Structure 1
Amino acid sequence: MEEIRNQGPHRHEEEIDDDDTISLDEAFFINDNYQLTNFTFGSQELQLFSLHAASTDFDLTGQVVWPGAILLNDYLSKNTEILQGCTAIELGSGVGVTGILCSRFCQKVVLTDHNEEVLKILKKNIELHSIPENNCPTSHGLSAEKLEWGNSDHVNRILQNHPGGFDFILGADICFQQSSIPLLFDTVKVLLLIKEDRKCKFILAYVSRAKTIDLMVTNEASKHGLQMKELPGTRRIVGNLEGVIFEITLN
């Protein structure tokens, strides 16, 4: 998946005994040896900097492209007409593979992540796709903003910067840890409500890894007064796991 949320403080120290503690520098956990990687979705080709294996810090899974992003991008590349001229915000963008694909068709795409290290590579990939010399269409209307789910300051800044709201909220492989799921749906509901015509849709590419998470996602959607509909023909195996795309809207 593209990211894990709200997991509490990192453990960057290993206690040996009551008297001795080894302190490890944060850089020990970070792999920033990004590689320019080619991705093809239908007729669309993307080049992005990413890792082939995430850093050892569990908060940095956004450095790699996960199966749910492949599932969502395959779907969107076959249904580009729904994106034409629209606006979108992506949650847990990671390296930005989904948001950058959408920028080929959308009027505006806001890519978000909460991790500063991930935001660095996300912004680098946005810059890469703003340069005409790349052998691919130039992406327009792309920006990156920090957004931690459930953080009222971050959410309010999004509301202030984009008062008209969005046509789509996008999420690919972002339901991974139980503690983050209620916060995700808190944020999604606020973003759905920005759009005055109530026509905003949350498109979630979900990969099943645990039955408890499966149940929690559906329960949280219901608790938040949201309708969850499986998009026909999207259920398939990705990365040896079952994936599916949901369309989630206000009731």
Structure 2
Amino acid sequence: MAPAEIAESELLLQTFERRFLAARVLRSFPWQSLEEKLKASSDSKLLLHLLQKTARHPLCARYPPSSSYVRRFLSELIRKPSGDAVTLRESTAIIAHGTTGLVTWDAALYLAEWAMQNPATFTHRTVLELGSGAGLTGLAICKACQPRAYIFSDGHSHVLEQLRQNIILNGFSLELDVTIEPEHPTVTVAQLDWDTGTGPQLSAFQPDVVIAADVLYCPDAILSLVGLLKRLSGCRKDQRPPDVYVASTIRNPETPQLFTAQLGQAGISWEAVPPHDRTLFAYEEHWEVVVLKLTL
């Protein structure tokens, strides 16, 4: 980056920092300048630097601003690189109603960001998401990657209820009538138990792409997921297995090791997707997140 560009970026970051720490009204921020800078800049870390100057500033750890102010700021910020925002209802508890699917985890953020950097993987294709949770990854893909159809799925009734609310909240219809907004994908929600999902149920999905994020939380879940993937491998009418991407947060090294071992036993090959810069969302920095591409 040229010295003039660096100076311009520093001035923009300084303006955001001062206004954020002073809790100025959001309309007073130089959003248009930021958007123009994001479109023209070759610095892929600009958003990360911006977060460090604002929501992740050391002063915010000592003197936290109101959660509503931070939430509105981040919502506005997300619109700038993607042209749109994803709004979610989540649980304030990590575990609620016996499930962790009511909150968004880092792997879902990471996979969403990877998808937006690789939209061709999903464009004009049918996507099945396993363990959709609050729905952030799928909603980001629906808004930014133009899939033909998107199938959100989960096995917990409370998760599915909140998921439907989030889909509607973001302007998508769960009706199959796509004539109103033809640029939107057909969006459906399915209750899918990984152990009891039948062949006819899986065949009805006909996915071109299957994704999952932060679903490798225990040995039983890993065994169930691998079994489901094996059944999915032969469900397409053209006998072409879907592309599969699984994102996971590495909290315990034994968990991904068990997953890859089970994949090997099932005859499913895998490769790690190259990591990307985390520039869009505020992550928990101490966790490593990886995406595996599976070949069924």
Counterpart of 2:78 (choices 32, 40, 51) is 40
Q: Which residue of 2 aligns with 1:186?
A: 227
Counterpart of 1:101 (choices 130, 137, 140) is 140
Q: Give the partner amino acid of 1:206.
A: S
Residues 70-149 of structure 1 mapped to structure 2, 5 A cutoff:
70-104=109-143, 105-130=146-171, 139-149=184-194
Q: CA deviation at 1:76?
A: 0.5
Q: CA deviation at 1:227?
A: 0.9
Q: Give the partner amino acid of 1:184.
A: L
Q: CA deviation at 1:79?
A: 1.0
1:214 aligns with 2:214: no
CA displacement 1:55-113 (0-9 Å, x = unmatched):
444x3211000000011011011111221101110000011111122223100011001
Is the contact made by 2:112 and 2:138 (CA closer than 8 Å) also made in structure 1? no
CA displacement 1:109-146 (0-9 Å, x = unmatched):
110010011110011112223359xxxx9843111010
Is the contact made by 1:172 and 1:205 (CA closer than 8 Å) also made in structure 2? yes
Q: Give the partner amino acid of 2:155.
A: H
1:50 aligns with 2:96: no
Q: Which stretches of structure 1, 4 residues or longer, exceed 4 Å deviation after superposition?
A: 234-238
1:245 aligns with 2:291: yes
**Cα distance between partner residues in 2 of 1:70 and 1:185:** 23
Structure 1 SS opposite 2:134? coil
Structure 2 SS opposite 1:193? coil
Structure 2: segments with no counterpart, 5+ residues: 1-70, 174-181
**Cα distance between partner residues in 2 of 1:222 and 1:92:** 22
Q: Give the partner amino acid of 1:172.
A: A
Structure 1 pair 88–176 and aligned structure 2 pair: CA distance change class (3 A): same
Is the contact made by 1:207 and 1:243 (CA closer than 8 Å) also made in structure 2? yes
1:205 aligns with 2:251: no
Structure 1 pair 199–158 and aligned structure 2 pair: CA distance change class (3 A): closer
**Cα distance between partner residues in 2 of 1:187 and 1:125:** 26
CA displacement 1:164-185 (0-9 Å, x = unmatched):
x211101011100111111101
Q: CA deviation at 1:234?
A: 4.2
**Cα distance between partner residues in 1 of 2:135 and 2:86:** 11
**Cα distance between partner residues in 2 of 1:56 and 1:146:** 18
User: Looking at CA atoms only, which structure, 1 or 2, has the larger radius of gyration?
Assistant: 2
Is the contact made by 2:235 and 2:241 (CA closer than 8 Å) also made in structure 1? no
Structure 1 pair 139–128 and aligned structure 2 pair: CA distance change class (3 A): farther
**Cα distance between partner residues in 2 of 1:190 and 1:130:** 33
Q: Which residue of 1 aligns with 2:8?
A: none
Is the contact made by 1:235 and 1:243 (CA closer than 8 Å) also made in structure 2? no
Q: CA deviation at 1:192?
A: 2.6
Is the contact made by 2:211 and 2:245 (CA closer than 8 Å) also made in structure 1? yes
Is the contact made by 1:103 and 1:141 (CA closer than 8 Å) also made in structure 2? no
**Cα distance between partner residues in 2 of 1:144 and 1:152:** 15
**Cα distance between partner residues in 2 of 1:131 and 1:201:** 25
Structure having the larger proportion of residues in helix: 2
**Cα distance between partner residues in 1 of 2:78 and 2:214:** 19
Q: Give the partner amino acid of 1:97.
A: L
CA RMSD of aligned residues (A): 2.7
**Cα distance between partner residues in 2 of 1:171 and 1:188:** 11
Structure 2 SS opposite 1:156? helix
Q: Which residue of 2 aligns with 1:61?
A: 100
Is the contact made by 1:88 and 1:106 (CA closer than 8 Å) also made in structure 2? yes
Structure 1, 98-107 or 115-124: larger mean CA deviation: 98-107
**Cα distance between partner residues in 2 of 1:150 and 1:214:** 20
